[in-house]
Structure 1
Amino acid sequence: MFKTILVPTDGSALSDKAITAAIEFARLTGGKIIGLSVAEPYPYSPLSEGAMTNDSAEYEEKMRQMARAHVLKIADAASAAGLQYSTYVTESFSPYEEIIDVAAKQGCDVIFMASHGRKGLNKLFVGSETQKVLGHTTIPVLVFR
């Protein structure tokens, strides 16, 4: 049975749906929740002059603050349900790699995550983080739509 559940969140309504389901599942099975939000670094070009400006520092701090707020939502829900939990905020241009890495390091049995349902050419060329996780992890992933 799944006892250690990773719940990555981007703060979206679909992520909230995954959080709610993960909390209920953990409550019913005596599991533990691992919350994760990945902050996106400033998208600068290292070739541009003055790439690291005050704007980039402000942007990155805002992204970290948002990520902390996202995992706080998980912590509050897990605490209210009386569950064991841990939360992590990481920073990466590649959220799916962070999700897989945290799942491995924390010994997660399953990942509960949202799908944003990209369609058409965008799905083929960009691919969602959920699809990338599905394609690169060996642990089960429960996707919420």
Structure 2
Amino acid sequence: MFKHLLIATDGSAVAALATRMAVDLAKTCGATLTAVHVIEPFRATTYGEMMLPTSEAVYLDNARTLAARYLLEVEQVAKEAGIPCTTVCEIGEPVHHVIEGVAKERGCDLIVVGSHGRRGLQRLLLGSETQKILLTTHLPVLVCHASHAAG
């Protein structure tokens, strides 16, 4: 059985669903939990007269504030269930590689992620970190789909 689960969160509703699933599974297995949120590095974008919408410091401050909130939500769900949980916030890219790196570094034996269940052109245009994780990791991955939230 699994001993250490990694839950990747982006603060979305499907991430909350994946969190509940990971906590339930950890409780069943007697496992511990690590929650990770990955902040993508600042990108200076230009438009017109070299316009910058925000500075790197402001971007990182806002991103860290959101990350702390997302990770606290996971911590609280785990605490209510009596599951030991640590949190990690990393800055890096590509996101799926950072998630896998944290899982390996922390000795996790399962990655739990949410998926919006996008298909076809929408998946192609928007990309999917979950899809990239599935294609690149050698660790087992549990995918929790948005469609499961309704039922």
Partner of 2:123: 123
Matching of residue 4 in structure 1 with residue 4 in structure 2: yes
CA contact (8 A) 1:5 1:108 kept: yes
Identity of aligned residues (%): 36
Partner of 1:65: 65
TM-score scaled by length of structure 2: 0.85
Q: For the aligned residues, what is the CA RMSD? A: 2.2
**AA at the equivalent of 1:59:** Y
TM-score scaled by length of structure 1: 0.88
The CA distance in 1 between the partners of 2:115 and 2:96, in whole Å, is 12
The CA distance in 1 between the partners of 2:3 and 2:22, in whole Å, is 11
User: Offset at 1:83?
Assistant: 1.5
User: Offset at 1:9?
Assistant: 0.3
CA contact (8 A) 1:18 1:112 kept: yes
Structure 2, unaligned runs of 5 or more: 146-151
Partner of 2:76: 76
User: Offset at 1:95?
Assistant: 1.2
Partner of 2:140: 140
CA contact (8 A) 1:2 1:110 kept: yes
CA contact (8 A) 1:111 1:140 kept: yes
**AA at the equivalent of 1:110:** L
Matching of residue 56 in structure 1 with residue 56 in structure 2: yes
CA contact (8 A) 1:44 1:51 kept: no
The CA distance in 2 between the partners of 1:28 and 1:20, in whole Å, is 12
**AA at the equivalent of 2:78:** A
CA contact (8 A) 1:97 1:133 kept: yes
